[in-house]
Amino acid sequence: MKKLRVAIIGQGRSGRDIHGAYFRTEAGRALYDVVAVAEKIDARRARAAEEYGCDVTDDYREILRRSDVDVVVNSTFSHLHYPVTMDALRHGKNVVSEKPFSKYAMECEDMIRTAKENGVTLTVFQQSRVAPYFTRIREILAAGLLGPVEQITIRFSGFQRRWDWQTSLRYYGGCLQNTGPHPLDQALTLLDYDGMPEVFSVLKRINSAGDAEDYAKLILTAPDRPLIDLEINPSDAYSDFTYRIAAARGSLSATMSKIRWKYFDDTPMPAFTFEPLNKADGLSPAYCSEKLPWHEFEEDLSGSAFDAGPRIFYQNLYDHLTAGADLLIKPEGLVQQIRVMELVHAQNPLPVTK
């Protein structure tokens, strides 16, 4: 089996602990060889040479000049995703860009156009779209047993205080562009609307040492689509769900490791009446009540966006580059996400102070 040769730019939390962690697994080593790593920090560069048995450099441009690199993984700081990806594409390299794709939709369109002009593949590491819990939620909704979906509530919350570069607007930090691409990509996938949705939003700083937001509330609506309520909250110490879905004949509640859902068979509602409702004695007032034939299920899930996600993502990329399989994460489909984030930032301007 042919292996693809990979170069990783950056050995931070994403470059080493997500992408690199996959490439060090048995499944990753079966499909890919890491042949080069670019990293500015000396100690991390030395560790990469030991862990991957590859060449290392402090200048990513040396990687782009190599002829033995099939895929470049761009896991640099968020504000460098666009210029570094553009540089790699112009050198004829297939590129996996970390999220966010970019801060601006026009830059995304520029990268997409440049990839096409150079005949190479561009994709973005939105691996949460293939996370086991989200895949299962989509399967349950597709079965139609819950009936028409009215509201989808998504919470990527917990209690956290941060003071790293991800809290800097100058570095394109903030929860919307750091955590947000995961739930927002899922939300827009479920919304399944080609146009621009209506967006209500609030951004705030609560537990952040920097100048970027760490709280985000987005309400998304579109014609004939469910309302989507998305929240990223660093001050919610009791967050106990990731998804709540309310539908006409049932409901779903899920964390990333467990799903509970219930529905009832299509039972006609009693006819409307202005007449007072009475209990069995025919006189005492009664409240609307009925016993519905509920079917209830609970499922434990294995795998996460950080193990199953990379495995599925990189298997698909391998199949795409070697056998022409359809790409799971097409960059064209992410421009809508970036436009929504641009709008949210415009609705909630924050001054750059750090």
pLDDT tens across 38-56, in order?
999 999 999 999 999 999 9
The domains of the chain are located at: 4-124, 129-304+337-347
Give the per-residue pLDDT at 343: 98
Return the CATH architecture of domain 129-304+337-347: 2-Layer Sandwich (3.30)
| The CATH number of the domain covering residues in 4-124 | 3.40.50.720
CA distance 187 to 98: 19
CA distance 308 to 248: 32
Q: Which pTM value belongs to this model?
A: 0.95
Give the per-residue pLDDT at 354: 79
Give the per-residue pLDDT at 184: 98
Is the pLDDT confidence value at 227 over 80? yes
CA distance 36 to 242: 37
| Residues above pLDDT 70, as percent of the chain | 100
